[in-house]
């Protein structure tokens, strides 16, 4: 393993070592796979925060950080921002809403770009989250891009998935279509001081009723006004209750199986480069070009 990886200092919570290690893993520097194989199993919970754009996810995370820090907890946060589909760059603007924690020794925030990943996450999010878990935090929070129907990937990473919605999100059926109903351990109706919040809350709970009748597990729906720090304590308590209830071996094994599936898929696809695909398709395109025939002859034969 490369000498650039310092596991003892990482375990001691050295933030400089943590930041450097995240960069090394993110950029697949030589020796990163061997380093990951040396990481111990960790019981540090991963809390996923997801939901549609503009729902107030970053503001909610900021409030949760404040709650946990007041309890003397250490919190690590991975914020994933959308990337340009062409140059894979990103604004990384989530830090603006969490600027109060820059100098707090109990908080570490890292912004990431999706780099073209369609699941609302970073292509190395599994590995980066495990590095964070090894750095001595009490909670690791992962905030997704908020891209709608494809952000259900967070369910394969987080021990507790919090879905943030807003009253003006539109027809509740659209929430179902986005796939968020199936992955939520907890719903947060943010900006609950806005008109029609109570009606939206009632309809959302009615839509969740069939799920309760099947599983006998009610999905909590809580109201917050994150900008005013209203309802944050209730959300944090609900997250802790969910984590305590889900500390079962069966859920843990399903989560590990999901992670393993993503890792196998990623490494099997490692030799496929989108830029090369574009060049090949551009060269092959023209009259009679068929995408399915191209894929079958290129990868499936």
pLDDT digits (tens, 9 = 90+) for 82-129: 544 444 444 455 555 566 787 899 999 998 875 545 444 667 888 899
- Residue-wise pLDDT for 167-184, tens only, equals 876 555 455 545 666 778
Which pTM value belongs to this model?
Answer: 0.82
Per the CB < 8 A criterion, the answer to whether 1 and 37 are in contact is no
Separation of alpha carbons 148 and 120, rounded Å: 8
Answer yes or no: are the C-beta atoms of 13 and 20 closer than 8 Å. no
Q: Which two tokens stand for residue 94?
A: 């989530």
Mean pLDDT in residue range 264-281: 86
The percent of residues in the chain predicted with pLDDT above 90, rounded, is 33
Residue 1, classed as helix, strand or coil, is coil
Tokens representing 184 are: 């939520």
Sequence-ordered list of residues with C-beta below 8 angstroms from that of 68, at least 6 positions apart, any chain:
75, 138, 139, 236
Q: What is the pLDDT of residue 249?
A: 58
Q: How far apart are CA 236 and CA 42, in angstroms?
A: 21
Token digits for 12? 């001691």
CB 84, CB 90: distance < 8 Å: yes
Q: Is the pLDDT of residue 260 over 80?
A: yes
Closest CA to 65 of 26, 94, 23, 25: 94
pLDDT at 118: 46
């Amino acid at each position: 393993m490369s000498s650039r990886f310092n596991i003892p200092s990482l375990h001691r919570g050295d933030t400089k070592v943590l930041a450097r290690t995240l960069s090394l893993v993110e950029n697949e520097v030589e020796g990163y796979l061997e380093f990951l194989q040396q990481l111990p199993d960790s019981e540090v919970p991963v809390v996923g925060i997801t939901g549609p754009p503009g729902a107030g996810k970053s503001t909610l995370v900021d409030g949760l950080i404040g709650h946990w820090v007041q309890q003397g907890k250490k919190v690590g946060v991975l914020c994933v921002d959308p990337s340009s589909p062409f140059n894979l760059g990103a604004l990384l603007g989530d830090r603006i809403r969490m600027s109060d924690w820059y100098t707090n020794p109990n908080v570490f925030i890292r912004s990431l770009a999706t780099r073209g990943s369609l699941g609302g996450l970073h292509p190395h999010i599994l590995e980066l989250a495990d590095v964070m878990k090894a750095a001595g935090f009490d909670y690791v929070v992962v905030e997704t891009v908020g891209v709608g129907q494809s952000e259900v990937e967070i369910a394969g990473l987080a021990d507790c998935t919090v879905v943030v919605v807003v009253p003006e999100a539109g027809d509740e059926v659209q929430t179902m279509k986005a796939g968020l109903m199936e992955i939520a351990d907890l719903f947060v109706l943010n900006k609950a001081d806005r008109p029609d919040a109570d009606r939206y809350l009632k309809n959302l709970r009615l839509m969740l009723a069939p799920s309760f009748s099947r599983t006998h597990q009610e999905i909590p729906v809580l109201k917050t006004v994150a900008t005013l720090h209203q309802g944050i304590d209730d959300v944090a308590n609900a997250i802790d209750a969910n984590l305590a209830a889900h500390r079962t071996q069966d859920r843990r094994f399903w989560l590990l199986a999901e992670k393993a599936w993503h890792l196998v898929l990623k490494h099997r696809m490692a030799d496929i480069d989108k830029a090369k695909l574009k060049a090949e398709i551009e060269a092959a395109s023209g009259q009679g070009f068929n995408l399915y025939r191209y894929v079958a002859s290129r990868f499936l034969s």
